[in-house]
Amino acid sequence: MTDYIIINGFIFGLVLAAPVGPVGVLCVQRTLSEGRLHGILSGLGAAFGDAIYGAIAAFGISAIELWIVDHQIALRTAGGIILLLLAAKTLIVTTRRSSESRVGEVRTESLLQDFISTFLLAITNPITMLTFAGLFVTLGVTDAGESIGNASLLVAGVFTGSAMWWFALSFSANLARPYLDGGYQKWVSRVSAAILVGFGVYALATAQFYQV
């Protein structure tokens, strides 16, 4: 039974992480421009956010769940604003490096900021928790909340599955890094910023449709 629960948690983590989204864009962009560790930390921030929502669903913390559902508009709005700020930061950093960097000079941003930014993106997306609830019912993992041990195993599986995806994505993107010079990396950053703006505008525009 415990193996079944943790395997399902692992699958949940992969299902949540694999679709192309703003975190994936950030993970690839930061890996290419900053290095593999920045991409990994960006992914782990999202993995921790997914694990928190998994804990809320698995432990059946109804008060928190209801609060999240009731505040979907505010959460999605906050997520949209964060995405726009991240897009602006990406463009600013790219422009600064183009004007200030010397040949062979490497400039890196804060690993902690990378982690926190994607963590905030993950926890401001209430759809993640609703997705968990749907997966629990669809796959019949309703016994995860019967004990603290079962719920903990499920959350551990979710984090592991999500983290494994981000590790794989970062390592894959890092393979292409030696073949991209500064010009290509600059365009990657600009395209990434444009995609983040699109996600941010979408989140802000659709927030009104999530009223309960």
Start-to-end CA distance of the chain, whole Å, equals: 36
Residue 116 makes CB contacts below 8 A (sequence gap 6+) with 45
Tokens 């794989």 found at:
168
In total, how many domains does the chain have? 1
pTM, two decimal places = 0.71
- Measured between alpha carbons, how far is 118 from 165 in angstroms, rounded to an integer? 15
Domain extent at residue 35: 2-210
- Number of Cβ within 10 Å of residue 92's Cβ equals 11
pLDDT digits (tens, 9 = 90+) for 145-186: 556 777 788 788 889 998 999 999 999 988 888 776 556 667
Give the confidence band of 133 by pLDDT, cuts at 50, 70, 90.
low
Q: Are the CB atoms for 42 and 26 separated by under 8 Å?
A: yes
H-state helical runs in 71-181: 72-100, 111-123, 127-139, 148-176
Stretch 72-94: mean pLDDT: 79
| pLDDT over 90 at 115, yes or no | yes
Nearest to 29 by CA among 190, 165, 182, 183: 190
Q: Are the CB atoms for 157 and 13 separated by under 8 Å?
A: yes
